Amino acid sequence: MLKNNLNLWVLIATITVASCASPRELVVDVPTESEPTVETESPEIPFNMERFRVRPDLAFHSIENSIPDEFHVDLTAAGANANTGFRIQIISTQDVRLVEDLRIEYNKWMAEEIEEYDAESYILFRQPFYRLHVGNFRSRTDAIEFAQVVKRKFPDAWIVFDTIDPNAITRRLNP
């Protein structure tokens, strides 16, 4: 017990002495005008480092993404699924009332203001979200063209790969 008390007192004394010590002053050696400065020479680099420089315009120029043949899908083949294509997704939420209200708003907007397209709207449920999808497109190009129209009213709309109704393909009415 006496040894533990002695160790404690030594520790307290050490901390007290260390905290009371005066801080050292920082001395900066600044050469005066009368003192000449000595330039150190850097060793010569035996090769040209310029060829190792990465320029921003070429940084990703040589990167190629190769996709194995097993993952390529030939949509023109006889076995291609006619029910796959693209739609425009306006919203994805857990609030079914919001999706229903947006569907009504979309249908009203299409009937009153958009004359060049007649695109159906669909409410899909994929747990836990309700999604509002519009249109049926076989090609992404057609979906992008229609998405530009939809984004006038619904700026957060985006294109999604989906199962489509092949009997109701959305086409531009007035090309």
How deeply is 175 buried, as exposed, middle or buried, from its count of CB atoms within 10 A (0-12, 13-18, 19+)? Answer: exposed
What's the predicted TM-score (pTM) here? 0.55
CA distances from residue 41 to 38, 44, 45, 47, 50 in whole angstroms, order as listed: 9, 9, 12, 17, 21
Average pLDDT for the chain:
79
Per-residue pLDDT reduced to its tens digit, 47-75: 676 766 666 655 555 556 677 777 766 55
| Residues 6+ positions from 119 with CB-CB distance below 8 Å | 88, 110, 134, 135, 136, 146, 170
| Residues 6+ positions from 78 with CB-CB distance below 8 Å | none
Please tell me the predicted confidence (pLDDT) of residue 118.
87
Confidence of residue 77 (pLDDT cuts 50, 70, 90): very low
- 44: tokens are 């010569």
CA–CA dist 60, 49 (Å, integer):
20
Average pLDDT over residues 88-100: 96
3-state SS, 31-86, equals CCCCCCCCCCCCCCCCCCHHHHCCCHHHCCCCCCCCCCHHHCCCCCCCCCCCCEEE
Domain extents for the chain?
95-168
* Rg, C-alpha atoms of the chain: 36
Average pLDDT over residues 121-137: 95
